[in-house]
Chains A and B, each alone.
Chain A
Amino acid sequence: MKARFLGLLLLALTAGITYAQSEMSVTVKETQVRERPSFLAKVLATVQYGDRLTVLGKQSGWVQVQAGGQQGWVSASALTEKKIVFQAGSTDVSKTASSGEVALAGRGFNKEVESKYATEKNLDYSGVDRIERYGKDTNALIAFMQAAKLHFGEGGN
Protein backbone atom coordinates (compact mmCIF):
# COMPACT_ATOMS: atom_id res chain seq x y z
CA MET A 1 0.00 0.00 0.00
CA LYS A 2 2.75 2.35 1.06
CA ALA A 3 4.80 1.44 -2.01
CA ARG A 4 1.78 2.06 -4.24
CA PHE A 5 1.25 5.46 -2.66
CA LEU A 6 4.91 6.33 -3.17
CA GLY A 7 4.67 5.14 -6.75
CA LEU A 8 1.67 7.38 -7.37
CA LEU A 9 3.43 10.28 -5.71
CA LEU A 10 6.48 9.75 -7.90
CA LEU A 11 4.27 9.57 -10.97
CA ALA A 12 2.54 12.80 -9.99
CA LEU A 13 5.88 14.51 -9.42
CA THR A 14 7.32 13.31 -12.72
CA ALA A 15 4.14 14.34 -14.51
CA GLY A 16 4.49 17.75 -12.88
CA ILE A 17 8.07 18.07 -14.08
CA THR A 18 7.17 17.01 -17.61
CA TYR A 19 4.29 19.45 -17.66
CA ALA A 20 6.49 22.30 -16.40
CA GLN A 21 8.98 21.69 -19.19
CA SER A 22 6.46 21.35 -21.96
CA GLU A 23 6.52 25.02 -22.86
CA MET A 24 9.43 27.40 -23.34
CA SER A 25 9.62 31.12 -24.13
CA VAL A 26 11.66 32.92 -26.76
CA THR A 27 14.19 35.04 -24.89
CA VAL A 28 15.75 36.90 -27.83
CA LYS A 29 14.39 39.62 -30.12
CA GLU A 30 13.55 37.09 -32.83
CA THR A 31 14.80 33.71 -33.99
CA GLN A 32 14.09 31.07 -36.60
CA VAL A 33 12.30 27.74 -36.46
CA ARG A 34 14.26 25.38 -38.73
CA GLU A 35 13.49 22.14 -40.51
CA ARG A 36 16.43 20.30 -38.90
CA PRO A 37 18.60 21.04 -35.84
CA SER A 38 21.16 23.02 -37.86
CA PHE A 39 21.71 26.70 -38.63
CA LEU A 40 22.07 25.74 -42.27
CA ALA A 41 18.61 24.09 -42.37
CA LYS A 42 15.63 25.66 -44.09
CA VAL A 43 13.76 28.33 -42.12
CA LEU A 44 10.12 27.36 -41.52
CA ALA A 45 9.01 30.28 -39.37
CA THR A 46 10.26 33.21 -37.33
CA VAL A 47 9.31 33.53 -33.66
CA GLN A 48 9.46 36.67 -31.53
CA TYR A 49 10.53 37.65 -28.01
CA GLY A 50 8.12 36.27 -25.43
CA ASP A 51 6.42 33.71 -27.75
CA ARG A 52 5.49 30.51 -25.89
CA LEU A 53 6.44 27.34 -27.79
CA THR A 54 5.35 23.78 -27.04
CA VAL A 55 8.36 21.53 -26.54
CA LEU A 56 8.30 18.23 -28.46
CA GLY A 57 11.86 17.07 -27.93
CA LYS A 58 15.48 18.04 -27.35
CA GLN A 59 18.77 17.25 -29.04
CA SER A 60 22.22 18.65 -28.23
CA GLY A 61 21.75 22.40 -28.26
CA TRP A 62 18.40 22.31 -30.09
CA VAL A 63 14.77 22.10 -29.02
CA GLN A 64 12.04 20.65 -31.24
CA VAL A 65 8.97 22.85 -30.94
CA GLN A 66 5.47 23.40 -32.14
CA ALA A 67 5.11 27.05 -33.14
CA GLY A 68 1.70 27.89 -34.51
CA GLY A 69 1.05 25.36 -37.26
CA GLN A 70 4.74 24.53 -37.73
CA GLN A 71 6.92 21.90 -36.14
CA GLY A 72 10.64 22.55 -36.23
CA TRP A 73 13.84 23.19 -34.34
CA VAL A 74 14.97 26.25 -32.38
CA SER A 75 18.44 26.77 -30.87
CA ALA A 76 18.24 26.13 -27.11
CA SER A 77 20.22 29.32 -26.50
CA ALA A 78 17.21 31.35 -27.72
CA LEU A 79 14.78 29.78 -25.23
CA THR A 80 14.11 29.90 -21.51
CA GLU A 81 11.88 27.90 -19.21
CA LYS A 82 10.79 31.14 -17.57
CA LYS A 83 7.50 32.65 -18.61
CA ILE A 84 8.04 36.05 -20.21
CA VAL A 85 5.22 38.51 -19.62
CA PHE A 86 4.67 41.95 -21.13
CA GLN A 87 1.73 43.04 -18.97
CA ALA A 88 2.34 41.66 -15.51
CA GLY A 89 -0.36 40.92 -12.97
CA SER A 90 0.41 40.89 -9.24
CA THR A 91 1.09 37.12 -9.21
CA ASP A 92 3.69 37.55 -11.96
CA VAL A 93 5.28 40.41 -10.03
CA SER A 94 5.72 38.43 -6.82
CA LYS A 95 6.95 35.36 -8.75
CA THR A 96 9.56 37.54 -10.47
CA ALA A 97 10.70 39.03 -7.19
CA SER A 98 10.90 35.72 -5.36
CA SER A 99 11.63 32.71 -7.52
CA GLY A 100 12.53 34.32 -10.84
CA GLU A 101 10.07 31.96 -12.62
CA VAL A 102 8.82 34.93 -14.59
CA ALA A 103 10.76 37.51 -16.59
CA LEU A 104 9.13 40.84 -17.23
CA ALA A 105 9.78 41.97 -20.78
CA GLY A 106 10.66 45.59 -21.28
CA ARG A 107 11.12 46.16 -17.54
CA GLY A 108 14.32 46.80 -15.66
CA PHE A 109 17.14 47.92 -17.95
CA ASN A 110 15.27 49.08 -21.04
CA LYS A 111 15.21 51.73 -23.76
CA GLU A 112 13.96 54.36 -21.32
CA VAL A 113 16.80 53.69 -18.85
CA GLU A 114 19.28 53.70 -21.73
CA SER A 115 18.07 57.12 -22.94
CA LYS A 116 18.32 58.61 -19.47
CA TYR A 117 21.78 57.11 -18.97
CA ALA A 118 22.99 58.36 -22.38
CA THR A 119 21.78 61.89 -21.58
CA GLU A 120 23.26 61.93 -18.07
CA LYS A 121 26.66 60.66 -19.26
CA ASN A 122 26.54 62.50 -22.58
CA LEU A 123 27.32 59.15 -24.20
CA ASP A 124 27.04 58.76 -27.96
CA TYR A 125 25.28 55.54 -29.06
CA SER A 126 25.38 56.27 -32.81
CA GLY A 127 28.46 54.08 -33.36
CA VAL A 128 26.84 51.14 -31.56
CA ASP A 129 23.61 51.62 -33.57
CA ARG A 130 25.60 51.62 -36.81
CA ILE A 131 27.50 48.42 -35.91
CA GLU A 132 24.24 46.67 -34.98
CA ARG A 133 22.93 47.29 -38.48
CA TYR A 134 25.91 45.40 -39.95
CA GLY A 135 26.17 41.74 -40.79
CA LYS A 136 22.51 40.87 -41.23
CA ASP A 137 22.91 39.25 -44.65
CA THR A 138 22.16 35.61 -43.81
CA ASN A 139 22.74 34.36 -47.38
CA ALA A 140 26.21 35.95 -47.47
CA LEU A 141 26.96 34.36 -44.10
CA ILE A 142 25.93 30.91 -45.32
CA ALA A 143 28.00 31.37 -48.49
CA PHE A 144 30.99 32.37 -46.34
CA MET A 145 30.61 29.23 -44.20
CA GLN A 146 30.11 26.84 -47.07
CA ALA A 147 32.95 28.22 -49.21
CA ALA A 148 35.55 27.05 -46.69
CA LYS A 149 33.93 23.60 -46.27
CA LEU A 150 34.44 23.84 -42.52
CA HIS A 151 31.88 22.56 -40.00
CA PHE A 152 30.07 25.81 -39.27
CA GLY A 153 26.49 25.74 -38.16
CA GLU A 154 26.11 22.01 -37.61
CA GLY A 155 24.83 22.13 -34.07
CA GLY A 156 25.44 24.36 -31.12
CA ASN A 157 26.91 21.78 -28.81
Chain B
Amino acid sequence: MSTRTRRPHLPRVISLAAGIAMLAISALLLSCSTLADIGTAVGVQQGTISESQAASIKQTASAVEKSFQDITPEQEYYLGRAVGAVILSQYKTYDNQKANDYVNYLGQSLALVSDRPILYLGYRFQILNSDDLNALSTPSGLIFITRGLLRLATSEAEVAAILAHEIGHIEKKHALKAIKNSRITAALTSAALTGAQMATNQDVAQLTEAFGGSVNDMTQQLFNSGYSRTAETEADESGVTILERAGYDPRALVNILQAMRARSKPSSGVDFTRTHPLPADRITDVQKTIGNYKAPGYDTAVTKQRFEQALSGI
Protein backbone atom coordinates (compact mmCIF):
# COMPACT_ATOMS: atom_id res chain seq x y z
CA MET B 1 0.00 0.00 0.00
CA SER B 2 1.39 3.36 -0.70
CA THR B 3 -1.20 6.00 0.01
CA ARG B 4 -0.32 8.01 3.05
CA THR B 5 -1.30 11.29 4.55
CA ARG B 6 2.15 12.24 5.77
CA ARG B 7 5.55 11.05 4.73
CA PRO B 8 8.18 10.62 7.40
CA HIS B 9 11.69 11.77 6.65
CA LEU B 10 14.85 9.82 7.28
CA PRO B 11 17.02 11.31 9.97
CA ARG B 12 19.73 13.49 8.43
CA VAL B 13 22.40 11.37 10.05
CA ILE B 14 21.40 8.37 7.91
CA SER B 15 21.52 10.34 4.66
CA LEU B 16 24.87 11.81 5.66
CA ALA B 17 26.30 8.41 6.54
CA ALA B 18 25.04 7.02 3.26
CA GLY B 19 26.71 9.91 1.46
CA ILE B 20 30.01 9.14 3.13
CA ALA B 21 29.62 5.45 2.29
CA MET B 22 28.97 6.36 -1.34
CA LEU B 23 32.10 8.53 -1.41
CA ALA B 24 34.17 5.73 0.07
CA ILE B 25 32.87 3.26 -2.52
CA SER B 26 33.51 5.77 -5.32
CA ALA B 27 37.09 6.21 -4.09
CA LEU B 28 37.61 2.45 -4.20
CA LEU B 29 36.13 2.29 -7.68
CA LEU B 30 38.54 4.94 -8.90
CA SER B 31 41.58 3.03 -7.71
CA CYS B 32 40.48 -0.43 -8.89
CA SER B 33 39.14 -1.18 -12.33
CA THR B 34 36.50 -3.75 -11.28
CA LEU B 35 34.84 -4.85 -8.08
CA ALA B 36 36.58 -8.20 -8.34
CA ASP B 37 39.86 -6.27 -8.29
CA ILE B 38 38.92 -4.65 -5.00
CA GLY B 39 38.09 -7.94 -3.34
CA THR B 40 41.10 -9.85 -4.64
CA ALA B 41 43.48 -6.98 -3.84
CA VAL B 42 42.26 -7.03 -0.25
CA GLY B 43 42.49 -10.83 -0.11
CA VAL B 44 46.05 -10.99 -1.42
CA GLN B 45 47.19 -8.12 0.79
CA GLN B 46 45.90 -9.91 3.85
CA GLY B 47 47.34 -13.23 2.83
CA THR B 48 43.94 -14.94 2.91
CA ILE B 49 44.35 -16.12 -0.69
CA SER B 50 47.26 -16.82 -2.98
CA GLU B 51 48.06 -14.82 -6.13
CA SER B 52 46.93 -17.69 -8.35
CA GLN B 53 43.65 -18.10 -6.48
CA ALA B 54 43.13 -14.36 -6.78
CA ALA B 55 43.72 -14.52 -10.52
CA SER B 56 41.14 -17.25 -11.04
CA ILE B 57 38.57 -15.58 -8.83
CA LYS B 58 39.11 -12.25 -10.56
CA GLN B 59 38.68 -13.85 -13.95
CA THR B 60 35.42 -15.55 -13.07
CA ALA B 61 33.94 -13.07 -10.59
CA SER B 62 34.25 -10.13 -12.93
CA ALA B 63 32.26 -12.07 -15.51
CA VAL B 64 29.44 -12.61 -13.03
CA GLU B 65 28.44 -9.37 -11.37
CA LYS B 66 25.96 -10.09 -8.60
CA SER B 67 22.38 -8.87 -8.41
CA PHE B 68 19.48 -9.06 -5.96
CA GLN B 69 18.82 -12.62 -7.19
CA ASP B 70 22.08 -13.72 -5.53
CA ILE B 71 21.03 -12.52 -2.09
CA THR B 72 20.37 -15.58 0.08
CA PRO B 73 17.47 -15.78 2.56
CA GLU B 74 20.02 -15.41 5.37
CA GLN B 75 21.30 -12.14 3.88
CA GLU B 76 17.71 -11.02 3.26
CA TYR B 77 17.05 -11.61 6.93
CA TYR B 78 19.79 -9.25 8.12
CA LEU B 79 18.92 -6.61 5.51
CA GLY B 80 15.24 -6.81 6.47
CA ARG B 81 15.93 -6.51 10.19
CA ALA B 82 17.85 -3.30 9.52
CA VAL B 83 15.03 -1.85 7.39
CA GLY B 84 12.63 -2.83 10.20
CA ALA B 85 14.77 -1.03 12.77
CA VAL B 86 14.80 2.11 10.57
CA ILE B 87 10.99 1.93 10.19
CA LEU B 88 10.67 1.66 13.97
CA SER B 89 12.87 4.74 14.37
CA GLN B 90 10.14 6.60 12.41
CA TYR B 91 7.02 5.01 13.84
CA LYS B 92 5.91 3.90 17.29
CA THR B 93 4.35 0.46 17.65
CA TYR B 94 0.76 -0.08 18.76
CA ASP B 95 1.07 -2.72 21.45
CA ASN B 96 -2.41 -4.14 21.84
CA GLN B 97 -1.71 -7.87 21.97
CA LYS B 98 -5.16 -9.03 20.86
CA ALA B 99 -5.02 -6.85 17.74
CA ASN B 100 -1.42 -7.79 16.93
CA ASP B 101 -2.09 -11.52 17.41
CA TYR B 102 -5.02 -11.26 15.03
CA VAL B 103 -3.00 -9.46 12.35
CA ASN B 104 -0.16 -11.99 12.82
CA TYR B 105 -2.32 -15.09 12.44
CA LEU B 106 -4.18 -13.61 9.50
CA GLY B 107 -0.96 -12.53 7.77
CA GLN B 108 0.89 -15.79 8.44
CA SER B 109 -2.07 -17.78 7.08
CA LEU B 110 -1.97 -15.73 3.88
CA ALA B 111 1.81 -16.11 3.56
CA LEU B 112 1.38 -19.89 3.58
CA VAL B 113 -0.60 -19.78 0.33
CA SER B 114 1.79 -17.31 -1.33
CA ASP B 115 4.55 -18.35 -3.73
CA ARG B 116 7.07 -17.77 -0.91
CA PRO B 117 5.48 -19.31 2.16
CA ILE B 118 8.78 -19.70 3.99
CA LEU B 119 11.46 -17.11 4.66
CA TYR B 120 14.66 -17.41 6.72
CA LEU B 121 12.82 -16.66 9.96
CA GLY B 122 9.23 -16.27 8.80
CA TYR B 123 6.60 -13.57 8.43
CA ARG B 124 5.83 -11.26 11.36
CA PHE B 125 3.18 -8.53 11.48
CA GLN B 126 3.05 -5.43 13.67
CA ILE B 127 0.55 -2.59 14.00
CA LEU B 128 2.03 0.93 14.02
CA ASN B 129 0.58 3.63 16.24
CA SER B 130 -0.06 6.15 13.47
CA ASP B 131 -2.99 7.80 11.69
CA ASP B 132 -1.16 7.55 8.35
CA LEU B 133 -2.68 5.29 5.73
CA ASN B 134 0.34 3.08 5.29
CA ALA B 135 1.62 -0.46 5.19
CA LEU B 136 5.30 -1.34 4.84
CA SER B 137 7.24 -4.54 4.35
CA THR B 138 10.87 -5.59 4.72
CA PRO B 139 12.72 -8.42 2.88
CA SER B 140 13.01 -10.42 6.11
CA GLY B 141 9.22 -10.78 6.35
CA LEU B 142 8.41 -7.98 8.79
CA ILE B 143 5.15 -6.35 7.71
CA PHE B 144 3.84 -3.19 9.33
CA ILE B 145 0.35 -1.72 9.07
CA THR B 146 -0.84 1.55 10.61
CA ARG B 147 -3.87 1.93 12.86
CA GLY B 148 -5.09 4.55 10.37
CA LEU B 149 -5.24 2.01 7.58
CA LEU B 150 -6.77 -0.69 9.80
CA ARG B 151 -9.54 1.74 10.77
CA LEU B 152 -10.52 1.98 7.09
CA ALA B 153 -11.03 -1.78 6.81
CA THR B 154 -14.57 -3.00 7.32
CA SER B 155 -13.92 -6.76 7.16
CA GLU B 156 -11.28 -9.46 7.66
CA ALA B 157 -11.05 -9.81 3.87
CA GLU B 158 -10.08 -6.14 3.53
CA VAL B 159 -7.32 -6.45 6.15
CA ALA B 160 -6.25 -9.62 4.33
CA ALA B 161 -6.12 -7.66 1.06
CA ILE B 162 -3.67 -5.12 2.51
CA LEU B 163 -1.46 -7.82 4.04
CA ALA B 164 -1.57 -9.94 0.86
CA HIS B 165 -0.38 -6.92 -1.17
CA GLU B 166 2.60 -6.50 1.20
CA ILE B 167 3.39 -10.24 1.02
CA GLY B 168 3.36 -9.71 -2.76
CA HIS B 169 6.16 -7.12 -2.43
CA ILE B 170 8.25 -9.65 -0.46
CA GLU B 171 7.45 -12.51 -2.84
CA LYS B 172 8.61 -10.40 -5.82
CA LYS B 173 11.68 -9.09 -3.91
CA HIS B 174 10.75 -5.49 -4.74
CA ALA B 175 12.73 -3.98 -1.85
CA LEU B 176 15.89 -5.91 -2.79
CA LYS B 177 15.66 -4.66 -6.37
CA ALA B 178 16.36 -1.15 -5.07
CA ILE B 179 19.85 -2.20 -3.96
CA LYS B 180 22.56 -1.20 -6.39
CA ASN B 181 24.25 -4.24 -7.96
CA SER B 182 27.69 -2.81 -7.17
CA ARG B 183 27.00 -3.12 -3.44
CA ILE B 184 25.83 -6.71 -3.76
CA THR B 185 28.83 -7.67 -5.87
CA ALA B 186 31.18 -6.02 -3.38
CA ALA B 187 29.51 -7.75 -0.45
CA LEU B 188 29.24 -11.21 -1.95
CA THR B 189 32.68 -11.20 -3.51
CA SER B 190 34.19 -10.04 -0.26
CA ALA B 191 32.20 -12.70 1.60
CA ALA B 192 33.58 -15.35 -0.73
CA LEU B 193 37.14 -14.22 -0.33
CA THR B 194 37.02 -14.33 3.44
CA GLY B 195 35.08 -17.56 3.49
CA ALA B 196 38.11 -19.70 4.18
CA GLN B 197 38.90 -18.13 7.51
CA MET B 198 37.69 -15.62 10.06
CA ALA B 199 36.92 -12.23 8.56
CA THR B 200 39.31 -9.45 9.50
CA ASN B 201 38.23 -6.07 10.88
CA GLN B 202 38.83 -4.52 7.48
CA ASP B 203 36.52 -7.08 5.82
CA VAL B 204 33.80 -6.37 8.36
CA ALA B 205 34.20 -2.62 7.83
CA GLN B 206 33.87 -3.08 4.06
CA LEU B 207 30.86 -5.34 4.42
CA THR B 208 29.21 -2.95 6.86
CA GLU B 209 29.66 -0.17 4.33
CA ALA B 210 27.96 -2.23 1.60
CA PHE B 211 25.29 -3.25 4.11
CA GLY B 212 24.56 0.35 5.17
CA GLY B 213 24.39 1.40 1.53
CA SER B 214 21.96 -1.42 0.74
CA VAL B 215 19.71 -0.55 3.70
CA ASN B 216 19.78 3.07 2.61
CA ASP B 217 18.80 2.16 -0.98
CA MET B 218 15.78 0.28 0.39
CA THR B 219 14.64 2.85 2.95
CA GLN B 220 14.97 5.68 0.42
CA GLN B 221 12.60 3.78 -1.83
CA LEU B 222 10.25 2.95 1.02
CA PHE B 223 10.01 6.48 2.40
CA ASN B 224 10.82 8.79 -0.49
CA SER B 225 10.68 7.52 -4.05
CA GLY B 226 8.14 4.74 -3.56
CA TYR B 227 7.92 1.51 -5.52
CA SER B 228 7.49 1.73 -9.28
CA ARG B 229 4.03 1.55 -10.75
CA THR B 230 4.98 -1.83 -12.18
CA ALA B 231 5.96 -3.06 -8.71
CA GLU B 232 2.68 -1.86 -7.21
CA THR B 233 0.72 -3.55 -9.98
CA GLU B 234 2.67 -6.80 -9.43
CA ALA B 235 2.02 -6.65 -5.68
CA ASP B 236 -1.70 -6.09 -6.36
CA GLU B 237 -1.71 -9.11 -8.71
CA SER B 238 0.04 -11.29 -6.11
CA GLY B 239 -2.42 -9.99 -3.54
CA VAL B 240 -5.39 -11.04 -5.65
CA THR B 241 -3.86 -14.50 -6.19
CA ILE B 242 -3.20 -14.97 -2.48
CA LEU B 243 -6.74 -13.87 -1.56
CA GLU B 244 -8.27 -16.24 -4.12
CA ARG B 245 -6.11 -19.17 -2.97
CA ALA B 246 -7.06 -18.57 0.65
CA GLY B 247 -10.72 -18.33 -0.31
CA TYR B 248 -11.28 -14.63 0.34
CA ASP B 249 -13.21 -12.55 -2.13
CA PRO B 250 -10.44 -10.62 -3.96
CA ARG B 251 -12.88 -7.75 -4.51
CA ALA B 252 -11.95 -6.84 -0.91
CA LEU B 253 -8.80 -5.27 -2.43
CA VAL B 254 -10.99 -3.04 -4.61
CA ASN B 255 -13.08 -2.08 -1.56
CA ILE B 256 -10.09 -1.06 0.54
CA LEU B 257 -8.54 0.87 -2.38
CA GLN B 258 -11.84 2.72 -2.78
CA ALA B 259 -11.81 3.59 0.92
CA MET B 260 -8.23 4.84 0.54
CA ARG B 261 -9.21 6.91 -2.49
CA ALA B 262 -11.99 8.53 -0.51
CA ARG B 263 -9.56 9.49 2.25
CA SER B 264 -6.43 10.48 0.31
CA LYS B 265 -5.89 13.70 -1.60
CA PRO B 266 -3.88 12.82 -4.70
CA SER B 267 -3.92 16.43 -5.89
CA SER B 268 -1.56 17.38 -3.07
CA GLY B 269 1.62 16.97 -5.12
CA VAL B 270 3.19 16.00 -8.42
CA ASP B 271 5.59 13.60 -6.67
CA PHE B 272 2.80 11.60 -5.23
CA THR B 273 1.19 10.91 -8.59
CA ARG B 274 4.56 10.16 -10.16
CA THR B 275 5.73 7.65 -7.56
CA HIS B 276 2.46 6.16 -6.42
CA PRO B 277 -0.21 4.86 -8.74
CA LEU B 278 -3.47 6.57 -7.91
CA PRO B 279 -5.94 4.33 -6.07
CA ALA B 280 -8.31 4.94 -9.00
CA ASP B 281 -5.79 3.49 -11.51
CA ARG B 282 -5.05 0.57 -9.21
CA ILE B 283 -8.77 -0.13 -8.82
CA THR B 284 -9.16 -0.39 -12.61
CA ASP B 285 -6.12 -2.69 -12.87
CA VAL B 286 -7.22 -4.89 -9.97
CA GLN B 287 -10.71 -5.20 -11.43
CA LYS B 288 -9.14 -6.41 -14.68
CA THR B 289 -7.02 -8.97 -12.79
CA ILE B 290 -10.00 -10.28 -10.86
CA GLY B 291 -12.11 -10.70 -13.98
CA ASN B 292 -15.19 -12.79 -13.50
CA TYR B 293 -14.40 -13.97 -10.02
CA LYS B 294 -17.28 -15.70 -8.30
CA ALA B 295 -17.30 -15.31 -4.54
CA PRO B 296 -17.05 -18.60 -2.65
CA GLY B 297 -20.03 -19.63 -0.59
CA TYR B 298 -18.23 -19.74 2.75
CA ASP B 299 -19.86 -18.60 5.94
CA THR B 300 -18.40 -15.24 7.00
CA ALA B 301 -19.81 -15.39 10.53
CA VAL B 302 -16.48 -16.54 12.04
CA THR B 303 -14.36 -13.95 10.23
CA LYS B 304 -16.85 -11.18 11.05
CA GLN B 305 -16.87 -12.03 14.71
CA ARG B 306 -13.10 -12.31 15.17
CA PHE B 307 -12.47 -9.17 13.07
CA GLU B 308 -14.78 -7.16 15.34
CA GLN B 309 -13.36 -8.69 18.51
CA ALA B 310 -9.77 -7.96 17.57
CA LEU B 311 -10.05 -4.59 15.86
CA SER B 312 -13.21 -2.84 17.13
CA GLY B 313 -11.17 -0.58 19.41
CA ILE B 314 -8.51 0.25 16.83
Which A residues lie at the B interface, using CB under 8 A?
Answer: 27-29, 31, 39, 49, 61, 75, 77-78, 80, 85, 88-90, 92-94, 96-100, 103-114, 116-118, 120-125, 127-128, 131-132, 134-135, 140-141, 144-145, 147-157
Contact = CB atoms under 8 A, between A and B. Distances in A.
B174 to A, nearest CB: 17
Nearest to B123: A135
B161 interface: no
B142 A128 contact: yes
Q: Which interface residue of B53, B77, B192, B208 has the most chain A CB atoms within 10 A?
A: B192
A121 B85 CA distance: 11
A133 B86 CA distance: 18
A131 B208 contact: no
Interface of B: 13-14, 17, 36, 39, 49, 53, 56-57, 60-61, 63-64, 66, 70, 72-75, 77-79, 81-82, 84-86, 88-89, 93, 100-101, 104-106, 108-110, 112-126, 142, 156, 187-196, 199, 204-205, 207-208, 211-212, 214-215, 245-248, 298-299, 302-303, 306
A150 B246 contact: yes
16 contacts: A31-B118, A61-B115, A96-B191, A97-B36, A112-B204, A113-B204, A131-B142, A132-B142, A134-B101, A135-B123, A140-B101, A148-B156, A152-B246, A153-B109, A156-B114, A156-B116
A77 B124 contact: no
Nearest to A38: B112
A104 B117 CA distance: 23
Contact of A103 (B72, B122, B207, B208): B72
A97 B70 CA distance: 11
A109 B193 contact: no
Contacts of A92: 195
Contact of A99 (B60, B89, B116, B205): B60
A121 B124 CA distance: 24
Contacts of A99: 60, 64
A132 B61 CA distance: 35
